[in-house]
Amino acid sequence: MADTATTAPVAAASAASASSDAPPFQLGKPRFQQTSFYGRFRHFLDIIDPRTLFVTERRLREAVQLLEDYKHGTLRPGVTNEQLWSAQKIKQAILHPDTNEKIFMPFRMSGYIPFGTPIVVGLLLPNQTLASTIFWQWLNQSHNACVNYANRNATKPSPASKFIQGYLGAVISAVSIAVGLNVLVQKANKFTPATRLLIQRFVPFPAVASANICNVVLMRYGELEEGIDVLDSDGNLVGSSKIAARHDGSPAGAPPAAPPRAKPCVPGSLRPGPAAGHQPLPADVRD
């Protein structure tokens, strides 16, 4: 007799009606192919879609229940692939993948554009004073730190001291670089006033980029040092891996519009699935 855990997703996939504009649904997988730039671009747009901010509590419960029905092979007749993809998008946009708790709206990936855009505008305001430079750099890194913490990998408890270290490191580096570059530009006698003004408008970019690197590294240092939990295809804990933590981390220095987002406990390339078959776990996984 076929294993129930293996046949349930297959039966659920068969129960889902084919949709003309949606690919076959795969639980936990991206809707768009990640092997091309266009596919990754569409996936990114899906993640930051601000429309998910307006999803009601009832719609969220329905989306979660629909995915549970799919997982256990109990989908009602007539459910389409489009509905399943939409349900997964809603769940991933609102609920933390490890704690299954709702992420505070301003710190969701889908909320980064509406809540982060005013800060970016403030960073690029012309003729900034020392006080305004410090304020906008502080506000930007405070927002980034909260986004990083809210979307962290939470398979292991992280002390508050790690968050404070990342926050202080990001703020200090951002303010120091921004103020330092502004002072250097102002003291550069070789530049004309027009050139000096133009250069000053680009100062926020290296300041923010450097601070984001510091923010990401410090905020996720515990994961890289201790590793993250690794699950098998049935969701059972099989060990802890530093290699998986390195794969799970987003590139340091990501732009403000693309903060790191906690993924499932192990990257997709290491998580075996019913369709792909079991794949080797990281070499450093320990029981």
pLDDT of residue 66: 95
Same domain? For 71 and 130 the reply is no
Amino acid, res. 170: A
Q: What is the DSSP letter of 275?
A: T
pLDDT tens-digit map of 232-244: 666 666 766 666 6
Classify residue 64: in a domain, yes or no.
yes
Same domain? For 87 and 171 the reply is no
Classify residue 89: in a domain, yes or no.
yes
Classify residue 117: in a domain, yes or no.
yes
Write the CB contacts of 150 (distance below 8 Å, at least 6 apart in sequence). 96, 103, 104, 107, 108
55-64, 135-144, 181-190: the lowest-pLDDT one: 181-190
Read off the pTM.
0.68
Classify residue 277: in a domain, yes or no.
no
Q: What are the tokens at 280?
A: 């080797």
Same domain? For 63 and 113 the reply is no
**What are φ and ψ of residue 91, in 5° steps?**
-65, -45
Cα distances (angstroms) measured from residue 39 to each of 35, 49, 60, 120: 7, 15, 26, 27
Q: Per-residue pLDDT averaged across 107-116, rounded? A: 92
Classify residue 160: in a domain, yes or no.
yes
| Domain coverage including residue 72 | 37-94
Same domain? For 147 and 221 the reply is yes
Classify residue 51: in a domain, yes or no.
yes
Task: Report the largest interatomic distance among the alpha carbons of the chain, rounded to a whole angstrom.
Answer: 82
Position 220 confidence tier, pLDDT thresholds 50, 70, 90:
low
How many domains does the chain fold into?
Answer: 2
Classify residue 247: in a domain, yes or no.
no
Residue 245 to residue 229: CA distance in whole angstroms: 9
